[in-house]
């Protein structure tokens, strides 16, 4: 199984919740003016509300000097904002204090706000508390709310959410919408009161009904998620839109998010961008980031990394940690900006300085990769630890990976498991996939294949390609789940569509072998090509095999070599072995045993046992090296000892003949048996021969037949041919010409020359088929061209004797010579005959005698008699009756009556 490493998260969706909105602050506009409750009481207030600030000043100034509290409060408002007078915060504070000391609650609140914010004076939460409390005790709802804020935030007092709730409740019960909103947030968070979503929703509703935009947004979110209220997209969108229409930038961004995701309404990226832009116009940094995301991913706009980086920079420079992280990513990846690891680190660190868990993580990734800083896994681990402890799932997964691999920390499977689990619980597909691997292999936990499948499934359902691949492997192998090749193909396909190269290779394999899909070589080639182009060594190797065998593409040994070479360069030992085979055979070029040996050794050095067996074959056959059966035995033994079935059978063959080793038929049999039991068809074939001959084991024709059948069923052409011979002759089976013909044909179609010859014989003699000399000759030609000496000799007879064709001594001579060169005694005899009779050649007695001599040495009866006659009579060679007698006795021993008569004649002559 593969484990996808935790990768850099370039961009993350921004999710909004109640806690994402602006924190409460003691500064509330209503706390300062409240539309001047004095309006209607005096002419100055009327003028103020009409924005006739000069007129208001002219009326209030003399009254204030006389000690009128309302006029003093009014003058404070004018100086605070510079309305009709030069702005003077100290003067504003002086007037507010004069009015406050006379019990004016609005002035008390305004003075408290100035103390809390340090406006026109040094910040002093203690004084703010004093003045808020004076106003609150008089029932002022703004003061009550702001006292609640100070207790909640611990401003001038110890943090006390319970007391905060008490003051919020007083204000809320007075109908103050901001306090009602605050009550909703406290119940939603369970802060100072037991968590109660229904109560939260009710307080939000009261504030919302008064037009409080943040309450409308929060209540809308509760409807969206069905928290504390019955889920309703309609109600959610209505409330969020009201908030957005009133100018709430958070609601505008949230509405954009809903349009972007299509949650509860039709997906509309143009509308999403429009709402983000409205929020951005209010300097909302989350909107800046959102717009950047649209440009980075080309969502509703043309992909533009430069624009994305520009928007991220706007957010980053205003201190937004998402903007800082994303801008860092753009520098790290070189997207829309020149790649600059130093600037990436700078922005990540700015985010980290704000306790950004993602910032911690990103700093860690640079140290782990050594980008812009010395590579340091230990430092990376420290940053990941911070990120993980802050709850960031990617940081948890990254830290888990370091513990799993022992990089920068002491290797610890249990800690790796714990951190992966934390990340997985948050939905990290990386972690879920890794947990699957841990359970599959029992690393730090008890092996649990079913749990492994469950975790792979979780990550796969999140479209995580590595997990889809791993899940497919589990289904294809029936590991932890019922074997289901169709389901395996489904998950291989999903991962392949995400350009996961290993999955593309396995999908190609499924189409090549028909595992869960119908065999389709062109489609197999398509997926192998994708995997190969992506640099997957297995894909390159498999593509090479398709070109070598001509499956789904025209056979092309040159291209096969190219792809094998690419895989070989990555250390793929099977590709190295196959390259060795191509060079050994000279496929597409001249045989080059030296190159073959070089590639075999490359593969062998990495433990490839097939290559070790092939090196043994080079030594046994003397290809590129001197024949050395001892060296061959050493290489075969290396492969055999490692369990290589082909090495076992080849070593067994040496023990059978005693070449390079002490002859030991029993050991040969044991090696054949090991190979055969491993399913190797050559081992099965040799085991069958051992049982048939009784070499190394008690002769057992039934077992021999059984193993020969197994090898034939695996498509081994030699076994198919030999089994066909048994059915043809009726040896230990009933004679069955059709069965014999079927087996010969299977082997012949694979290019087995002797089987092609046998098919020709069956057609010639009408065995299991209608006799047809023309068809027979076609098969004889195929076999002869493949080097089968019996077929070559038979063709020679056909042309010599004119069997179904016109006599053609030239062709007869050609085929006899090819066969004779392979020591075929019949061909040698016929050549002697043609030279003796001058058929297609000038008569040449000595040449005839030479061919007869070769055939006679192979115990060819007619050659022995012909040559004996030549020695008896001294025809074209010196007379030699002793030689004639020796040859005739050999022929007589074979039962030749002619030879016996000639011996009698020879004796009389003596």
* Tens of pLDDT, residues 674-727: 999 999 999 999 999 999 999 999 999 999 999 999 999 999 999 999 999 999
- pTM, 2 dp: 0.72
Distance, CA of 525 to CA of 583 (rounded, Å): 23
Residue 28: pLDDT band with limits 50, 70, 90: very low
**Backbone φ and ψ of 42, nearest 5°:** -145, 160
- Please, are residues 842 and 869 in contact by the beta-carbon 8 Å criterion? no
Q: Is the pLDDT of residue 40 over 50?
A: no
Structure tokens at 196: 């109660």
Q: Which long-range contacts (CB under 8 A, 24 or more apart) does 525-529 make?
A: 525/551, 525/552, 525/553, 527/496, 528/504
Residues in contact with 259: Cβ distance below 8 Å, sequence separation at least 6, in sequence order:
265, 267, 268, 269, 271, 272, 275
DSSP 18: G
Q: How confident is the model at residue 589, as a pLDDT?
A: 87
* CA distances, 745 to each of 729, 735, 775, 780 (Å): 17, 17, 13, 13
- From the number of C-beta atoms within 10 Å of its C-beta (0-12, 13-18, 19+), residue 176 rates as buried
Distance of alpha carbon 679 from alpha carbon 273, whole angstroms = 64
Mean pLDDT, to the nearest integer, of 95-102? 96
Q: Where are the alpha helices (DSSP H) in 406-484?
A: 413-425, 429-441, 449-461, 465-477
105-117 and 89-100 helices cross at what angle (nearest 10)? 140
- Between the alpha carbon of residue 346 and those of residues 18, 302, 316, 537, the distances in Å are 30, 29, 11, 38
pLDDT greater than 50 at residue 883? yes
* Cα–Cα nearest to 576, from 550, 549, 615: 615
For the chain, what percentages of helix, strand and coil (3-state, to nearest 5) are there? 70, 0, 30
Q: What is the pLDDT of residue 496?
A: 97
- Spatial CB neighbours of 586, under 8 Å, sequence gap ≥ 6: 592
**CA pair distance 576, 566, nearest whole angstrom:** 10
* 3-state SS assignment for residue 723: helix
State pLDDT tens for residues 544-571: 999 999 999 999 999 999 999 999 999 9
SS3 string of 286-353?
HHHHHHHHHHHHCCCCCCCHHHHHHHHHHHHHCCCHHHHHHHHHHHHHCCCCCCCHHHHHHHHHHHHH
Confidence (pLDDT) at 351: 97
Q: What's the pLDDT at 27?
A: 38
Q: Where are the alpha helices (DSSP H) in 66-176?
A: 69-81, 89-100, 105-117, 125-137, 141-153, 161-173
Grade residue 65 by pLDDT with cuts at 50, 70 and 90: very high
Question: What's the mean pLDDT in 169-189?
Answer: 97
Count Cβ atoms within 10 A of the Cβ of residue 630 and give its class: 0-12 exposed, 13-18 middle, 19 or more buried.
Answer: exposed
Residues of the chain above pLDDT 70, percent: 95
CA distance 440 to 452: 5
DSSP 838: T
When pLDDT is cut at 50, 70 and 90, the band that residue 906 belongs to is: confident
Mean pLDDT score, 566-578: 97
Identify the band that residue 296 occupies on the pLDDT scale cut at 50, 70 and 90. Answer: very high
DSSP, res 283: T
Return d(Cα 713, Cα 14) in angstroms, integer. 62
pLDDT of 2 above 50: no
- pLDDT bin (cut points 50, 70, 90) of residue 264 is confident
Instruction: Note the helical H segments in 374-412.
Output: 377-389, 393-405
Give yes or no for a contact between 228 and 201, defined as CB atoms under 8 angstroms apart. Answer: yes
pLDDT confidence bin for 17, thresholds 50/70/90: very low
Give me 238's structure tokens. Answer: 């209505």
- The distance between the two most distant Cα atoms of the chain, rounded to a whole number of Å, is 176
pLDDT mean over 5-10: 27
Q: Work out the angle at residue 357's Cα, subtended by the Cα atoms of residues 353 and 359, and round it to the nearest 5 degrees.
A: 55
Binned at pLDDT 50, 70 and 90, residue 777 comes out as very high
DSSP state of 3: -
Closest by alpha carbon to 833, among 857, 818, 855, 811? 855
Locus of tokens 């489609």: 523
Percent of the chain with pLDDT over 90: 93
What is the tens place of the pLDDT at every residue in 798-811? 999 999 899 999 99
Residue 910 has a pLDDT of 52
Lowest mean pLDDT across 32-46, 532-546, 855-869: 32-46
What are the CA-CA distances from residue 36 to residues 31, 80, 108, 143, 475 (Å)?
10, 14, 14, 16, 74
Mean pLDDT of the chain: 93
Bin 139: left if φ > 0, else alpha if -120 < ψ < 50, else beta.
Answer: left
Q: Which residues of 65-87 are buried (b: 16+ CB within 10 A; e: fewer)?
A: eeebbbbbbbbbbbbbeebbbee
Residue-wise pLDDT tens digits, 458-491: 999 999 999 999 999 999 999 999 999 999 999 9
pLDDT band at 42 (very low <50, low <70, confident <90, very high): confident
Collect all residues with Cβ–Cβ distance below 8 Å to 444 and sequence separation of at least 6.
Answer: 412, 413, 414, 416, 417, 438
Tokens (6 digits) for 480: 């932890």
What six digits make up the tokens of 81?
């904002």
DSSP structure string for 764-829: HHTSSS---HHHHHHHHHHHHHTT-HHHHHHHHHHHHHTSSS---HHHHHHHHHHHHTTT-HHHHH
654-663 per-position pLDDT tens digit: 999 999 999 9
Give tens-digit pLDDT for 436-449: 999 999 998 999 99
């Amino acid at each position: 199984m593969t484990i996808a490493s935790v990768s850099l998260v370039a961009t993350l969706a921004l999710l909004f919740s109640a806690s994402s909105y602006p924190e409460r602050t003691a500064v509330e506009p209503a706390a300062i003016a409240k539309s001047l409750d004095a309006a209607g009481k005096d002419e100055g207030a009327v003028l103020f509300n009409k924005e006739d600030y000069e007129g208001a000043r002219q009326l209030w100034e003399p009254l204030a000097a006389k000690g009128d509290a309302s006029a003093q409060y009014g003058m404070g408002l004018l100086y605070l904002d510079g309305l009709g007078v030069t702005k003077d915060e100290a003067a504003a504070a002086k007037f507010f204090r004069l009015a406050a000391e006379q019990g004016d609650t609005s002035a008390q609140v305004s003075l408290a706000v100035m103390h809390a914010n340090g406006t026109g004076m040094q910040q002093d939460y203690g004084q703010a508390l004093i003045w808020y409390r004076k106003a609150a005790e008089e029932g002022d709802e703004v003061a009550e709310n702001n006292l609640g804020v100070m207790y909640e935030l611990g401003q001038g007092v110890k943090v006390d959410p319970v007391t905060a709730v008490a003051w919020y409740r007083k204000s809320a019960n007075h109908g103050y919408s901001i306090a009602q909103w605050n009550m909703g947030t406290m119940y939603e968070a369970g802060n100072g009161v037991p968590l109660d979503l229904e109560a939260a929703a009710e307080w939000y509703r009261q504030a919302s009904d008064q037009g409080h935009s943040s309450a409308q947004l929060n209540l809308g979110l509760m409807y969206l998620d069905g928290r504390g209220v019955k889920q309703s997209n309609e109600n959610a969108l209505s409330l969020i839109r009201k908030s957005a229409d009133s100018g709430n930038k958070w609601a505008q961004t949230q509405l954009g998010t809903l349009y972007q995701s299509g949650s509860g309404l039709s997906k509309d990226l143009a509308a999403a961008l429009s709402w983000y832009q409205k929020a951005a116009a209010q300097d909302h940094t989350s909107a800046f980031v959102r717009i950047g995301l649209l440009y980075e991913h080309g969502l509703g706009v043309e992909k533009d990394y430069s624009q994305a980086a520009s928007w991220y920079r706007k957010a980053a420079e205003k201190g937004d940690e998402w903007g800082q992280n994303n801008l860092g990513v753009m520098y790290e990846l070189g997207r829309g900006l020149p790649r600059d690891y130093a600037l990436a680190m700078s922005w990540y660190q700015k985010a980290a300085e704000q306790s950004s868990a993602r910032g911690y993580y990103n700093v860690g990734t640079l140290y782990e990769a050594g980008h812009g800083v010395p590579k340091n896994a230990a430092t990376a681990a420290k940053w990941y630890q911070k990120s993980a402890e802050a709850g960031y799932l990617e940081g948890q997964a990254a830290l888990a990976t370091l513990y799993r691999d022992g990089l920068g920390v002491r290797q610890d499977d249990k800690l790796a498991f714990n951190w992966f689990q934390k990340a997985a619980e948050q939905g990290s597909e990386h972690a879920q996939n890794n947990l699957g691997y841990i359970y599959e292999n029992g690393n730090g936990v008890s092996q649990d294949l079913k749990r492994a499948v469950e975790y792979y499934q979780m990550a796969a359902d999140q479209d995580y390609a590595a997990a889809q691949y791993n899940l497919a492997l589990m289904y294809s192998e029936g590991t932890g789940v019922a074997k289901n090749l169709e389901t395996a193909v489904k998950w291989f396909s999903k991962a392949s569509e995400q350009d996961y190269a290993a999955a593309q290779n396995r999908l190609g394999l499924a189409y090549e072998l028909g595992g869960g899909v119908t065999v389709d070589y062109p489609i197999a080639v398509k997926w192998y090509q994708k995997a190969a182009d992506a640099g997957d060594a297995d894909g390159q190797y498999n593509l090479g095999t398709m070109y070598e065998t001509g499956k789904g593409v025209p056979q092309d040994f040159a291209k096969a070599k190219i792809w094998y070479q690419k895989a070989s360069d990555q250390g793929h030992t099977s590709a190295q072995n196959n390259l060795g085979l191509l060079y050994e055979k000279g496929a597409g070029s001249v045989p080059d045993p030296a190159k073959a040996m070089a590639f075999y050794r490359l593969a062998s050095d990495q433990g490839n046992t097939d290559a070790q067996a092939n090196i043994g074959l080079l030594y046994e056959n003397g290809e590129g090296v001197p024949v050395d059966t001892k060296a061959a035995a050493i290489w075969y033994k290396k492969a055999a000892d490692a369990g290589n079935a082909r090495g076992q059978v080849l070593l067994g063959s040496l023990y059978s003949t005693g070449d390079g080793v002490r002859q030991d038929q029993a050991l040969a049999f044991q090696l054949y048996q090991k190979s055969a039991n491993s399913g190797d068809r050559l081992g099965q074939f040799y085991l069958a021969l051992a049982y048939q001959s009784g070499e190394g084991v008690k002769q057992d024709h039934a077992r021999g037949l059984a193993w020969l059948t197994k090898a034939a069923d695996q498509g081994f052409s030699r076994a198919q041919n030999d089994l066909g011979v048994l059915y043809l002759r009726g040896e230990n089976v009933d004679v069955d010409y059709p069965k014999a013909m079927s087996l010969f044909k299977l082997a012949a179609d694979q290019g087995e020359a002797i089987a092609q010859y046998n098919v020709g014989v069956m057609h010639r003699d009408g065995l299991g088929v209608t006799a047809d000399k023309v068809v027979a000759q076609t098969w004889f030609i195929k076999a002869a061209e493949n080097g089968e000496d019996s077929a070559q000799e038979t063709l020679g007879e056909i042309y010599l004797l004119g069997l179904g064709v016109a006599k053609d001594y030239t062709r007869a001579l050609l085929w006899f010579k090819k066969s004779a060169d392979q020591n075929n005694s019949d061909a040698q005899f016929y050549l002697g005959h043609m030279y003796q009779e001058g058929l297609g050649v000038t008569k040449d007695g000595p040449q005839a005698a030479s061919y007869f001599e070769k055939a006679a040495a192979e115990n060819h009866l007619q050659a022995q008699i012909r040559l004996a006659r030549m020695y008896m009579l001294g025809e074209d060679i010196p007379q030699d009756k002793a030689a004639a007698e020796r040859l005739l006795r050999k022929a007589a021993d074979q039962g030749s009556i002619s030879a016996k008569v000639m011996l009698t004649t020879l004796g009389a002559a003596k």
